[in-house]
């Protein structure tokens, strides 16, 4: 069976899940964290080597202050409570996104989680936190330009592979499969460069309803796809 090695997920629909139950939106986020735990546990058995989860976008700062505060508290608690277990399960944790304006405290916990788990090999779990793909590309161009003006890199040396090394995702393979929950059919500034040839998979279910069986279904759907990368099917 042809399985995706790297799955990226836009975990969307927490707010609508809660609203449909006449609950506050933050309850949807809280339930969403239970799905993160479940999906992370199930992923390695499906052959997934890298799992990237979109947790908070650079545009999510446009939300009401109260909701942002609740989300930050959940990230904080997640880092406090889950990293030990992830480490025990041989999972390497990474974060992509800009640091500012995340609090010093959260940033410290993120770095500590990365350091603690950096030798782990079962699966790499990437959290896109305060992540925006256009920002990432702009940051990469700036980093390259800084080196170029100091004559540390040659402009002619820039190609796709080299450019990729300036992205937050350097050292990670491109996603094979992108999953988005909640029925929205868009990428919302997520991994624009890296998703060039990813298979896209949209499900109606909101993230708090996305169970390990749903992940398995997505993996099976992927295995039926024919990826051509611009070529033609091999006979
Ligand atoms: C995804 O769910 C979680 C984050 C963006 C942090 P939403 O909060 O976007 O839920 P909906 O899309 O409003 O239902
Ligand atoms: C994308 O969802 C970001 C995350 C899931 C973290 P949004 O809910 O922010 O996306 P839009 O605003 O509907 O495009
Ligand atoms: Mg949403």
Residue 225 structure tokens: 């796809």
- Residue 11 Cβ < 6 Å to ligand 2: yes
- Residue 12 Cβ < 6 Å to ligand 2: yes
Residue 210: predicted pLDDT: 98
Among 182, 186, 205, name the best residue to mutate to test ligand 1's pocket (greatest count of ligand atoms within 8 A of Cβ): 182
Among residues 60, 99, 120, 189, which one is catalytic?
60
Which residue has the CA at smallest separation from atom 8 of ligand 2?
12
pLDDT digits (tens, 9 = 90+) for 95-143: 999 999 999 999 999 999 999 999 999 999 999 999 999 999 999 999 9
Residue 232: predicted pLDDT: 94
Using the 8-state DSSP alphabet, how is residue 173 labeled? P
Q: How many Å apart are CA 211 and CA 39, to the nearest integer?
A: 7
Query: Does residue 235 surpass a pLDDT of 70?
Result: no
Query: Does residue 180 surpass a pLDDT of 70?
Result: yes
Superfamily in which the 6-132+174-223 domain is placed by CATH: Decaprenyl diphosphate synthase-like (3.40.1180.10)
The length of the chain is 235
Give the residue from 78, 72, 64, 70 showing the smallest Cα distance to 125: 78
Pairing of strands 123-131, 6-10: unpaired
Angle, in degrees to the nearest 10, between helices 25-42 and 65-88:
20
Residue 98 structure tokens: 């800009």
Active site annotation includes 99: no
Q: How far is CA 232 from CA 174, 187, 226, 229, in A?
A: 21, 26, 10, 8
The average pLDDT across 153-158 equals 97
Query: Does residue 233 surpass a pLDDT of 90?
Result: no
Q: Which ligand is nearest to the CA of 58?
A: 2
Among residues 2, 12, 89, 214, which one is catalytic?
12
Among 8, 9, 11, 12, name the best residue to mutate to test ligand 2's pocket (greatest count of ligand atoms within 8 A of Cβ): 12
Contact yes or no for 233/13 (Cβ under 8 A): no
Strand, helix or coil at 4? coil
pLDDT digits (tens, 9 = 90+) for 6-47: 999 999 999 999 999 999 999 999 999 999 999 999 999 999
Please, which pLDDT band fits residue 234 given cuts at 50, 70 and 90? Answer: confident
pLDDT above 90 coverage of the chain, percent: 98
Please, which pLDDT band fits residue 1 given cuts at 50, 70 and 90? Answer: confident
Q: How many Å apart are CA 205 and CA 118, to the nearest integer?
A: 33
Strand, helix or coil at 217? helix
Query: Does residue 82 surpass a pLDDT of 70?
Result: yes
- Residue 208 Cβ < 6 Å to ligand 1: no
Which residue has the CA at smallest separation from atom 9 of ligand 2?
60
The average pLDDT across 173-190 equals 98
């Amino acid at each position: 069976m042809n399985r995706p090695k790297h799955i990226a997920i836009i975990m969307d629909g927490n707010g609508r899940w809660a609203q449909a139950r006449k609950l506050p939106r933050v309850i949807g986020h809280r339930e969403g964290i239970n799905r993160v735990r479940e999906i992370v546990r199930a992923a390695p058995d499906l052959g997934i080597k890298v799992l990237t989860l979109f947790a908070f976008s650079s545009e999510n700062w446009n939300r009401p202050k109260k909701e942002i505060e609740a989300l930050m508290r959940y990230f904080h608690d997640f880092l406090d409570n889950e990293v030990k277990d992830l480490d025990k399960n041989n999972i390497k944790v990474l974060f992509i996104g800009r640091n500012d304006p995340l609090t010093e405290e959260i940033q410290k916990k993120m770095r500590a989680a990365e350091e603690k788990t950096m030798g782990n090999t079962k699966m790499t779990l990437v959290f896109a936190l305060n992540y925006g793909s256009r920002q990432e590309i702009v940051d990469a161009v700036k980093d390259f330009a800084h080196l170029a003006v100091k004559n540390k890199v040659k402009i002619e040396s820039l190609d796709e592979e080299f450019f990729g090394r300036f992205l937050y995702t350097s050292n990670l393979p491109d996603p094979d499969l992108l999953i988005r929950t909640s029925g929205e059919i868009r990428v919302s500034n997520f991994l624009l460069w890296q998703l060039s040839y990813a298979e896209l998979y949209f499900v109606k279910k909101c993230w708090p309803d996305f169970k390990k069986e749903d992940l398995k279904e997505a993996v099976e759907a992927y295995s039926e796809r024919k990826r051509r990368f611009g070529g033609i099917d091999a006979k």
